[in-house]
Amino acid sequence: MTTYAEIFENNRQWVASKTGKNPDFFKKIAQSQEPEYLYIGCSDSRVTAEEMMGLEPGEVFVHRNIANLVNAGDLNVLAVIEYAVKYLGVKNIIVCGHYNCGGVKAAMQAQDLGILNPWLRNIRDVYRLHKEELNAIQDERQRYNRLVELNVQEQCINVTKLATVQQGFLKNGYPVVHGWVFDLESGLLKDLELDFPKILHNIQEIYDLTGK
């Protein structure tokens, strides 16, 4: 395990590596940021954003919370999305879950988790919406993994409900919302290949906030 003091040495080595390849690296990124991606992921320490995507500083705007949730009561994630779409002009919003997610697993269990209860209720709501499909899966691990995927799908729908996202897409043709799952065992990303235009069309009867 890396010690606290070693972190700063690692930082110095990282700076040396970056400036060795490009002496103006930090001067450039200090000027502004123009990321094309907003990444909404889980806070799990095993799941990074830029590293697993192969991107550099300045290329991805990141928000992380337990079980990669997007709900209407969380001003933090809503502010991040608003800023990313309106002021950074991101072209892609990615909601990325991961298999073996502790938050999703906890939501599947009947137990009192204190302050986590209202947060995890959002995942339990996903289970309720897809109860028939999930209960038909006999293997517990497969059921768990499927709930991870369905949770990502539902959070993508929640992103699509937002006025900023709808209005941006109507005006510019972006941002497009994507759902991914990271497999901890293989290190590979899985694109759930959600049909964003279809999702937007399907919810607009109730959630149309475009002002048109």
Note if 46 is an active site residue: yes
d(CA 212, CA 210): 5
The CATH superfamily of 34-201 is: Carbonic anhydrase (3.40.1050.10)
Neighbour-count burial for 92-130, b at 16+ CB within 10 Å, e otherwise: bbbbbbbbbbebbebbeeeeeeeeeeebbebbeebbeeb
Domain ranges of the chain: 34-201
Q: Would the pLDDT of 56 be above 70?
A: yes
The band of 210, judged by pLDDT with boundaries at 50, 70 and 90, is confident
Among 63, 101, 156, 178, the active-site one is 101
Note if 156 is an active site residue: no
What pLDDT score does 112 carry?
A: 86
Tokens of 5: 């003091």
Among 46, 112, 139, 195, the active-site one is 46
Among 42, 63, 96, 156, the active-site one is 42
User: pLDDT digit string (tens) for 87-115?
Assistant: 999 999 999 999 999 999 988 888 888 98
pTM value? 0.94
Secondary structure letter of residue 175 according to DSSP:
P
The band of 70, judged by pLDDT with boundaries at 50, 70 and 90, is very high
What pLDDT score does 212 carry?
A: 62
Among 63, 96, 98, 178, the active-site one is 98
d(CA 155, CA 174): 18
Q: Would the pLDDT of 211 be above 80?
A: no
Note if 139 is an active site residue: no
Contact status, residue 163 vs residue 212, Cβ threshold 8 Å: no
Q: Which of 196, 199, 180 is nearest to 91 (CA)?
A: 196
| Number of helices followed by number of strands (H, E) in the chain | 10, 5
Q: Would the pLDDT of 209 be above 90?
A: no
d(CA 90, CA 36): 4
d(CA 41, CA 63): 6
How far does CA 187 lie from the centroid of its chain? 17
Among 44, 63, 96, 156, the active-site one is 44
d(CA 48, CA 64): 10
Where are the extended beta strands (E) located within 69-194? Answer: 92-98, 176-182, 189-191
d(CA 136, CA 102): 22
Amino acid at 57: P
User: pLDDT digit string (tens) for 169-196?
Assistant: 999 999 999 999 999 999 999 999 999 9
